[in-house]
Amino acid sequence: MVNLTDIKEAAERVRTIARITPLLDVTALAGRSLLLKCESMQPGGAFKIRGAYNMVARLTPEQRALGVVTYSSGNHGQAMALAARELGAPAVVVMPTTAPAIKVEGARAFGAEVIFAGTTSSDRKARAEQEASSRGLTMVPPFDHDWIIAGQGTLGLELLQQRPDVETVLVPVGGGGLLAGVAAAIKQTRPAVRVIGVEPAGAAAMKASLAQGHAVTLDKTASVADGLMPVRPGDLTFAHAQQYVDEVITVEDDQIIDAVLWLFTKAKVVAEPSGAATVAAALAGLVSGSGPLVAIVSGGNIGLDKLEELRKQRAQA
């Protein structure tokens, strides 16, 4: 399990590249206590740089010289590509054939070789493992590794410094790396703060796993939030969620789309669907309490074409 020392050491490691992102108070707009932790403003457009850089920086010079590989729906791939470029390592990113163009272009812009493999996380994981074996590359997994979790946990420490009186933190959940890291940081520092994970209803693998008492694999996932669709949480991320997370709740795709559009038109924040799931939960009134509520906006990699597509979709509903 990741401890506070791991997370504090990661914070020192990533501070040269990860920004201290703003915490915007949008209470007046939302009609309830709501603050946005804008990780969409990180290099690469998502929180993922924290974990990816922490891991690549911890590799040996020999490992970095040979190169790194990962499998990703987009944001982790971009983050690893950026970390690899900054640390002098060749990078290979395996993405789904359905990956948004803005995320593919982002990874390539940071110097990564992009390979496409299937549409599921298991498809791209298998291809990434094949590339790692044949080329001698080091795998930088998207969520289920203690170095990745510790890097993501730096967000939790930062948030507590910015808002010591926070009552509840909403964290989006895909594979669970961000949830694991943030929960570990917060609960080991201020146990009274509630940490709630938010998943799409069509991809609620962590909620199902917590209900069963062990990590489970869903038959399939479907959601507008492409970054929150693993069919199974990681073993490590699940263990952290079991120990530190108060609750995991779900939101519908329509609620996520409404949150994306609300953030863009009202709060003037650009968020992709995966990054807006937490805001969807807050706006839908799914979280109780009157104290300071922080929603982590985890990513902002969305093109204008996709925004317009979502707007039209909701207008026709």
- Output b/e per residue, 167-201; b: 16+ Cβ within 10 A: bbbbbbbbbbbbbbbbbbbbbbeeeebbbbbbbbe
Catalytic-labelled residue, pool 48, 103, 125, 187: 48
Alpha carbon distance 208, 216 (integer Å): 7
Look at residues 285, 294, 315, 275 and name the one whose alpha carbon lies nearest to residue 75.
Answer: 275
Residue 158's CB is within 10 A of a number of other CB atoms, namely: 22
Both tokens of 37, joined, read: 């932790």
The residues, any chain, with a CB within 8 Å of residue 197's CB and separated by 6 or more, are 170, 171, 172, 173, 176, 179, 206, 207, 241, 245, 247, 248, 249
Catalytic-labelled residue, pool 40, 72, 73, 298: 298
The residues, any chain, with a CB within 8 Å of residue 25's CB and separated by 6 or more, are 34, 35
> Does the active-site annotation cover 122?
no
What single DSSP character describes residue 231?
A: S
> Does the active-site annotation cover 103?
no
Strand partners, 249: 198
Burial class (CB in 10 A: 0-12, 13-18, 19+), 101: exposed
Q: Which residues are catalytic?
A: 48, 298
